[in-house]
Amino acid sequence: MAERKTVRKWFWVWEFDKEERWLNQMALSGWALVEVGFCRYVFDACEPGAYIIRLQMCPRDENYLSFLEETGAEYIGRVTRWIYVRRDAALGDFALFSDNASRLEHLGWIARMLLVIGVMNLVIGVVNSFNGTNLGSINLICATLLMYALGRIHGKMESLEKDRELEE
């Protein structure tokens, strides 16, 4: 059986491209992602650079997963609304999005999800603070973080939109 190791690592939600880069760095240095959990990544030893790894936020959709498999990609796993997929690097370059319209749509999903959870935390936090419960401040901190994340995602969206003013 292949050598296996588990790494615990935290990424903020706006750092999903950094997370993806890190996972690809791992693959380049001979560690292929085989399992994901909350802040937990399991790698098997592989030929350096054998796989390209991508992540995407998307709702549960079996049809999409089989569509991805049809194109040679392998589904690794899911953490909340994020899916992790990989493809044999020998099959060529691998991306999940190939134009700015779909990159923007993807960022839009992330932004909507952050907004919903952020507002939920804000409401719960305010209600709990009025009730004098200490837990209220935790929700308010979460809401602040989520709103910050939303700002970061909007920043990414704006730079893409700017490109789209002149090019597709």
Partner 1 sequence: MNNDIALTESTYYILLSLFEPQHGYGIMQRTEQLSGGRVKLAAGTLYGALSSMSERGWIRPLPGESGSRKKEYCLTKEGLLALKNEVDRLKELVENGEKVLGGENDG
Return residues touching partner 1 (CB under 8 A).
56, 58, 63-64, 66-68, 70-71, 73, 93, 95-99, 101-102, 105-106, 168
Q: Which is nearer to partner 1, 1 or 95 (CB)?
A: 95
- Shortest spacing between CB 26 and partner 1, in angstroms: 22
Q: Which is nearer to partner 1, 11 or 64 (CB)?
A: 64
Q: Which is nearer to partner 1, 98 or 159 (CB)?
A: 98
- State how far the Cα of 107 lies from the Cα of 103, in Å rounded to an integer: 6
Q: Which is nearer to partner 1, 59 or 132 (CB)?
A: 59
- Shortest spacing between CB 89 and partner 1, in angstroms: 15
48 neighbors 28 (Cβ within 8 angstroms): yes
CB atoms within 10 A of CB 1: 5
Q: What is the DSSP string of 60-82?
A: --HHHHHHHHHTTEEEEEEETTE
- Shortest spacing between CB 69 and partner 1, in angstroms: 9
Distance between the two ends of the chain, CA-based, in angstroms? Answer: 47
- Shortest spacing between CB 165 and partner 1, in angstroms: 14
- E-strand spans in the chain? 4-8, 31-37, 40-45, 51-57, 73-79, 82-88
